């Protein structure tokens, strides 16, 4: 009799394991991308504010890039910009703040000149100084008060979008580039070119008081910092100087602790692109969007495969571009068609509010 009961229990447990787990995410499709999208551009970056507004680049292989800004409750904006000659410029995005202001770059297709731009919410396009032909200027970030950072051509900051740029120094660094600014506090991060024979690039960050930290990631080989929050926690990539393979890290200034972020499989390129105020970090491992929030022994964090967590066999999330303080995640990916074709899209994932409590 007891054996029969045990067999029944095992059968019930086996059946329960066949029931799909509920996804910890709800998903919005923000927009469709063309089949001939220039994926190298589309996957570079995006913008995401704390109210769920998102911005990204639409770029085909044969047309200049445009920016799309989608604010909840409003019709999506498709943003173009033009030179004085009337030629359309090729747009890129750095980030977007909570006022929905976008910082980015405009590329002149005839000459290759680049100009820093700020696109204010509901109108108002600003060309950052200098903006004459032949310059190399870009804006990579804008904080909540309109403070802009970028490169002109080396690291620079604009007090407001209409100010002249101020050079950002980095002690002995030969070339300093900035990739991000914190939402507040004026902390910034990026990469610098070292003075060794290989001229490798290394991550750096600068606190709001003006102190630059040029050698802060433990056991680094080369690479860049991609994002920094108001607590001066930053994330980015390490790059093997021989193989070029990328690995991901997250750095906490308290205790000067480097956390190495594990990929999904050995041999994957792994990169940390964005983090929120709690240090929850997103990026990619191979061709899958991932999130790091679970601490493991040894100071490493296990990657969560966002595609697998959707429980939708027809959707692939390839890049997690941005995460906000509510742990919403802006992703690039595609829906797989009946014949295996890829229907490229931008997705926004909404998380259960109690899920992420980062430790370590």
User: What is residue 356's predicted lDDT score, i.e. its pLDDT?
Assistant: 55
User: What is residue 193's predicted lDDT score, i.e. its pLDDT?
Assistant: 83
Percent of the chain scored above 70 by pLDDT? 88
CATH number at 300 reads 2.120.10.30
Print the domain residue range for 201.
23-351
Task: Indicate whether 7 belongs to any domain.
Answer: no
Confidence band of 109 (pLDDT split at 50, 70, 90): confident
Alpha carbons 35 and 29: distance in angstroms, whole number: 16
Which residue, 154, 182, 181, 158, is CA-closest to 169?
154
User: What is residue 199's predicted lDDT score, i.e. its pLDDT?
Assistant: 72
Confidence band of 175 (pLDDT split at 50, 70, 90): confident
User: What is residue 242's predicted lDDT score, i.e. its pLDDT?
Assistant: 87
Of the candidate ranges 42-51, 208-217, 316-325, the one whose mean pLDDT is the lowest: 208-217
Confidence band of 62 (pLDDT split at 50, 70, 90): very high
Q: Does residue 46 register a pLDDT over 80?
A: yes
Q: If DSSP states are collapsed to H, E and C, what string results for the chain?
A: CHHHHHHHHHHHHHHHHCCCCCCCEEEEEEEECCCCECHHHHCCCCEECCCCCEEEEECECCCCCEEEEECCCCCCEEECCECCCCCECEEEEEEECCCCCEEEEEECCCCCCEEEEEECCCCCEEECCCCCCCCECEEEEECCCCCEEEECCCEEEECCCCCCCEECCCCCCCEEEEEEECCCCCCEEEEEECCCCCCCEEEEEECCCCCEECCCCCCCCCEEEEEECCCCCEEEEEECCCCCCEEEEEEECCCCEEEEECCCCCCCCEEEEEECCCCCEEEEECCEEEEEEEEECCCEEEEEEHHHHHCCCCEEEEEEEEECCCCCEEEEEEEECCCCCEEEEEEEEEECCCCCCCCC
The C-alpha R_g of the chain, in whole angstroms, comes to 22
How many angstroms separate the Cα of 120 from the Cα of each of 24, 78, 93, 114, 149?
Answer: 34, 13, 13, 19, 16
Q: Does residue 93 register a pLDDT over 70?
A: yes
User: What is residue 115's predicted lDDT score, i.e. its pLDDT?
Assistant: 97
Average pLDDT, the chain: 90
Task: Indicate whether 6 belongs to any domain.
Answer: no
User: What is residue 19's predicted lDDT score, i.e. its pLDDT?
Assistant: 46
For the segment 211-225, the average pLDDT, to the nearest whole number, is: 88
**CA angle at residue 332 from 331 to 337, to 5 degrees?**
125
Alpha carbons 292 and 286: distance in angstroms, whole number: 15
Cβ-Cβ contacts under 8 Å for 263 (sequence gap 6 or more): 247, 248, 269, 270, 285, 286, 290, 303
User: What is residue 18's predicted lDDT score, i.e. its pLDDT?
Assistant: 44
Which residue, 30, 26, 39, 27, is CA-closest to 65?
39
Task: Indicate whether 53 belongs to any domain.
Answer: yes
35 vs 352 pLDDT, higher one: 35
Residue 93 and residue 82 in contact, taking contact as beta carbons nearer than 8 Å: no
User: What is residue 282's predicted lDDT score, i.e. its pLDDT?
Assistant: 98
Task: Report residue 235 as tokens.
Answer: 């994330």
Structural domain count, the chain: 1
Q: What is the pLDDT of residues 237-276, one digit of tens each?
A: 999 988 989 999 999 998 888 999 999 999 999 999 999 9
Q: What's the whole-model pTM score? A: 0.91
Cβ-Cβ contacts under 8 Å for 342 (sequence gap 6 or more): 35, 316, 334, 335, 336
β-strand partners of 29: 347
Alpha carbons 237 and 245: distance in angstroms, whole number: 10
Only one residue has tokens 């906000």, namely 324
For the segment 84-110, the average pLDDT, to the nearest whole number, is: 95
Percent of the chain scored above 90 by pLDDT? 74
Confidence band of 169 (pLDDT split at 50, 70, 90): confident
Task: Indicate whether 88 belongs to any domain.
Answer: yes
For the segment 137-162, the average pLDDT, to the nearest whole number, is: 97
Task: Indicate whether 5 belongs to any domain.
Answer: no
């Amino acid at each position: 009799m007891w054996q029969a009961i045990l067999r029944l229990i095992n059968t019930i447990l086996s059946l329960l394991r066949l029931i799909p787990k509920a996804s910890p995410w709800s998903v919005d499709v923000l927009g469709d991308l063309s089949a001939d999208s220039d994926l190298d551009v589309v996957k570079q970056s995006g913008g995401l504010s704390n109210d769920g507004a998102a911005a990204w680049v639409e770029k085909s292989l044969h047309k200049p890039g445009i920016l799309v800004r989608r604010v909840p409750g409003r019709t999506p904006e498709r943003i173009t910009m033009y030179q004085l000659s009337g030629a359309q410029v090729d747009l890129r995005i750095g980030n977007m703040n909570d006022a929905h202001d976008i910082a980015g770059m405009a590329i002149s297709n005839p000459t290759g000149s680049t100009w820093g731009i700020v696109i204010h919410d509901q109108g108002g396009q600003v060309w950052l100084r200098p903006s004459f032909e032949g310059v190399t200027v870009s804006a990579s970030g804008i904080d909540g008060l309109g403070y802009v950072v970028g490169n002109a051509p080396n690291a620079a900051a604009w007090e407001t979008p209409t100010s002249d740029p101020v050079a950002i120094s980095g002690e002995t660094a030969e070339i300093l580039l900035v990739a991000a600014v914190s939402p507040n506090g004026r902390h910034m991060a990026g990469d610098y070119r070292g003075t060794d024979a290989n001229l490798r690039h290394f991550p750096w960050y600068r606190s709001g008081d003006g102190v630059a930290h040029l050698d802060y990631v433990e056991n680094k080989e080369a690479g860049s910092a991609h994002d920094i929050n108001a607590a001066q926690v930053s994330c980015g990539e390490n790059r093997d100087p021989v193989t070029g393979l990328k690995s991901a890290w997250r750095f906490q200034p308290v205790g000067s602790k480097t956390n190495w972020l594990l990929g999904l499989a050995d041999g994957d390129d792994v990169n940390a692109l964005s983090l929120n105020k709690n240090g929850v970090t997103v990026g990619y491992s191979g061709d899958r969007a991932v999130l790091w929030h679970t601490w493991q022994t040894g100071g490493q964090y296990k990657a969560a495969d966002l595609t697998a967590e959707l429980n939708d066999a027809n959707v692939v999330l390839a890049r997690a571009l941005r995460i906000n303080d509510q742990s919403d995640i802006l992703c690039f990916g595609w829906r797989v068609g009946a014949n295996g074709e890829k229907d490229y899209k931008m997705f926004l994932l909404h998380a259960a509010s109690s899920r992420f409590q980062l430790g370590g």
